């Protein structure tokens, strides 16, 4: 199966490499073209533009930073729309809002193409290991065509119906995750400022009802002050922003998410946006208690 792949960041590089390792013929493109070389070394070919990739491949996947990037790759010069058409499918796996997905879907369908939104849950290592959770919505026939690729990229795929449902599900999941990261950060700060050993707190949490892979993975790295980006904080704040907007649209009060978003915005203002989203601890610690000089 030949697949185009647009966007070779933390996730896209891992996902495209996975497809290549499993025998897919992959044509890649990245805004910073030099990033394609690592995939070329694995056997990928390079498309000079998104349009060139779509012209060559029946199916093209995108994994881009945010709504602005997702729209730019589709609508700008040399973009997807210049070559999409009958018999071709476009699958955007970026995390964006439902309105962005709908705009892309309408434009792709107007040109005879098929569109599927398929954002994913799971970070860098699940992407490398083909253990993502895929939250797809849109064209069911295209979803069925993509199952062989999704089976390589993920451990489970959901087809959630109409366009927008995948985007919304992803934003709800990440809103919960961002709020949980704030709760963990406040807990670690409270433990540290009240004479408790934060590592012992992590040990207790991991034995109880709220044990979870994220705390188990991010807790120790937070205590080491290690924030190598698996999931950049700037993208988590983008997701909080989009989730809060979804809440506004539906008159859903979300004070916990709103407060969490403020911490992520503060972290970005302090230049932590390119670090892992767990770096929000540095903001919450800094707002902490008695032992702050």
Cβ nearer to ligand O=CCCC(=O)O, comparing 140 with 156: 156
Give the nearer residue to ligand O=CCCC(=O)O in terms of CB position, either 51 or 135: 135
Question: Is 123 one of the binding residues for ligand NDP (CB under 6 A)?
Answer: yes
User: Does residue 233 bind ligand NDP (CB under 6 A)?
Assistant: no
Sign of CA dihedral 199, 200, 203, 208: negative
Binding partner of 268, given ligand O=CCCC(=O)O, ligand NDP, none, CB within 5-8 angstroms per partner class: none
Three-state DSSP at 132 gives strand
Q: Which stretch binds ligand O=CCCC(=O)O (CB under 6 A): 77-85, 96-104, 118-126, 241-249?
A: 118-126
How far apart are alpha carbons 93 and 280 in whole angstroms?
Answer: 25
At a CB cut-off of 8 Å and minimum separation 6, what does 213 contact?
none
Among 15-23, 26-34, 115-123, 190-198, which window interacts with ligand O=CCCC(=O)O (CB under 6 A)? 115-123
**In the chain, which residue ranges form alpha helices assigned H by DSSP?**
10-21, 37-40, 50-56, 67-75, 98-110, 124-128, 140-153, 165-193, 198-205, 213-223, 233-249, 255-269, 280-286
Query: Taking CB under 6 A as the rule, which mask of x and - marks residues 269-288 in contact with ligand NDP?
Result: --------------------
Tokens standing for residue 78: 């040399």
Q: Of 95, 165, 179, 237, which lies in the binding site for ligand O=CCCC(=O)O, with binding defined by CB under 6 A?
A: 95
Kindly give, in sequence order, each residue whose CB lies less than 8 Å from that of residue 285, ignoring residues fewer than 6 positions away.
Answer: 185, 188, 189, 192
Please state, in angstroms and as integers, the Cα–Cα distance from residue 95 to each residue in 64, 169, 205, 284, following that order. Answer: 8, 10, 30, 26
Q: Could you say whether residue 231 binds ligand NDP (CB under 6 A)?
A: yes
Least CB distance from residue 259 to ligand O=CCCC(=O)O, whole Å?
Answer: 20
Whether residue 153 contacts residue 118, with contact meaning beta carbons closer than 8 Å, is answered with: no
- Told to judge if 88 belongs to the known catalytic residues of this protein, a careful annotator would answer no
Nearest to 121 by CA among 134, 112, 111, 130: 134
Cα 214 to Cα 276: distance, rounded to the nearest angstrom: 13
Which of the ranges 5-13, 134-142, 248-256, 280-288 carries the binding residues for ligand NDP, by CB under 6 A?
5-13
Give the one entry of ligand O=CCCC(=O)O, ligand NDP, none that residue 11 binds, where binding means its C-beta sits below a cut-off of 5 to 8 angstroms depending on kind: ligand NDP
Q: Does 100 bind ligand NDP (CB under 6 A)?
A: no
Question: Residue 218 and residue 224: Cα distance in Å, rounded?
Answer: 10
Pick one of 122, 166, 219, 232: the residue that binds ligand O=CCCC(=O)O (CB under 6 A). 122
Nearest CB to ligand NDP, comparing residues 35 and 265: 35
Residue from 88, 170, 218, 238 carrying the catalytic annotation: 170
Beta bridge partners of 6: 29, 62
Could you give the CA distance from residue 206 to residue 116 in angstroms, rounded to a whole number?
A: 37
Q: Does 231 bind ligand O=CCCC(=O)O (CB under 6 A)?
A: yes
Of 76, 68, 77, 122, residue with least CA distance to 97: 68
Binding residues (CB under 6 A) for ligand NDP: these are: 7-12, 30-32, 35, 63-66, 68-69, 72-73, 94-95, 120, 123-124, 230-232, 235
Catalog residues that contact ligand O=CCCC(=O)O under the rule CB under 6 A: 95, 121-123, 174, 231
């Amino acid at each position: 199966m030949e697949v185009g792949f647009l966007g070779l960041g933390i996730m896209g590089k891992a996902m495209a490499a996975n497809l290549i390792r499993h025998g897919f013929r992959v044509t890649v493109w990245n805004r910073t073209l030099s990033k394609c070389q690592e995939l070329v070394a694995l056997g990928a070919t390079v498309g000079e533009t998104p349009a060139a990739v779509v012209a060559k491949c029946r199916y093209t996947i995108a994994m881009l930073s945010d709504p602005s990037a997702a729209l730019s790759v589709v609508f700008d010069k040399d973009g997807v729309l210049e070559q999409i058409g009958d018999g071709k499918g476009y699958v955007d796996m970026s995390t964006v809002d439902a309105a962005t997905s709908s705009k892309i879907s309408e434009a792709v369908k107007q040109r005879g193409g098929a569109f599927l939104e398929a954002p994913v849950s799971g970070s860098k290592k699940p992407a490398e290991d083909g253990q993502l959770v895929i939250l797809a919505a849109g064209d069911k026939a295209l979803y069925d065509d993509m199952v062989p690729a999704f089976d390589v990229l993920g451990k489970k795929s959901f087809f959630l119906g109409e366009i927008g449902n995948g985007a919304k599900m992803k934003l709800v999941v990440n809103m919960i995750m961002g709020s949980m990261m704030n709760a963990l950060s406040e807990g670690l700060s409270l433990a540290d400022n009240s004479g408790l050993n934060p590592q012992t707190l992590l040990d207790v949490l991991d034995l109880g009802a709220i044990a979870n892979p994220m705390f188990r993975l991010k807790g120790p790295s937070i205590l080491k002050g290690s924030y190598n980006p698996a999931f950049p904080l700037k993208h988590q704040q983008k997701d909080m922003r989009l989730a809060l907007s979804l809440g506004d649209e539906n008159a859903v009060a979300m004070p916990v998410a709103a407060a969490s978003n403020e911490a992520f915005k503060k972290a970005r203002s302090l230049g932590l946006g390119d670090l892992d989203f767990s770096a929000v601890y540095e903001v919450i610690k800094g707002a902490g208690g008695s032992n702050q000089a």
